[in-house]
Amino acid sequence: MSESSATGVLQSTVTPGKLVAAIQSGSGNTLFQPNGDYVVAASVCVGSAHCTGTDAELSRFTEAGIVDTSFTSMKFEFDGNDKTKPQAIALQSNGEIVVGGLSSVGGGLARLDSNGDLDTTFASGGSLTSDQSGSGLLIQKDTKIVAIGGTDGNLVLARYLAK
């Protein structure tokens, strides 16, 4: 096991500490922020004990691995789709967080404010669905969002205008 500082320097010892699990189930991705904090996106079961649907949920941790309680950790869906699974996460230069992933209709995108709330000025109340899966994201310098994914076995790139 190894440990690195926020600047990526390999540390000679590993700091012992309690392991914190923020999300109990599902797949997800991690976004490291410039200040050393990191955001984890995962899918979580909703509905009955048989997991009738999945929502996305984000949690933010400090560089020390402590849950950031100032970050809203709310569940959300891609445009009301009850089978939402985050696959990609990216940070815009203004601190907003973009999440892309899968849904039962293909894929979707959502944008959250830097505090974790859905950005209701983006798409339809903060999220949208599309025919393509969203397995990768790129934020252009002009804030446009490029989603990389697939549909029917074909690679698809889609660019979204961000205000």
Sequence letter at residue 81: N
pLDDT at 162: 66
Q: Is the residue at 5 inside a domain?
A: no
pLDDT at 151: 82
127 is in which domain, residue-wise? 28-160
Distance from C-alpha of 90 to C-alpha of 30, rounded to nearest angstrom: 9
pLDDT at 15: 64
Distance from C-alpha of 96 to C-alpha of 94, rounded to nearest angstrom: 6
pLDDT at 105: 80
Q: Is the residue at 91 inside a domain?
A: yes
Q: Is the residue at 3 inside a domain?
A: no
CATH number at residue 101: 2.120.10.10
pTM of the model: 0.79
What sign does the CA torsion over 94, 132, 82, 51 have? Answer: negative
**HSE-CB of 125 using CA atoms within 13 angstroms:** 7
Q: Which helix (H) or strand (E) holds 116?
A: none
Q: Which helix (H) or strand (E) holds 97?
A: strand 97-103
Q: Is the residue at 78 inside a domain?
A: yes
Residue 38 near residue 22 (C-beta atoms within 8 A): no
Distance from C-alpha of 29 to C-alpha of 149, rounded to nearest angstrom: 15
pLDDT profile of the chain (163 residues), mean per 10: 66 61 52 91 81 88 91 86 88 92 86 93 89 86 88 86 71
pLDDT at 25: 40
Q: Is the residue at 54 inside a domain?
A: yes
Distance from C-alpha of 3 to C-alpha of 87, rounded to nearest angstrom: 25
Q: Is the residue at 113 inside a domain?
A: yes
What sign does the CA torsion over 129, 132, 138, 142 have? Answer: negative
* Domain count of the fold of the chain: 1
Q: Is the residue at 98 inside a domain?
A: yes
pLDDT at 6: 66
pLDDT at 115: 94
In terms of Cα–Cα distance, which of 86, 79, 92, 80 is closest to 34? 92
Q: Is the residue at 15 inside a domain?
A: no
Distance from C-alpha of 20 to C-alpha of 112, rounded to nearest angstrom: 23
Q: Which residues face 146 on adjacent strands?
A: 138, 159
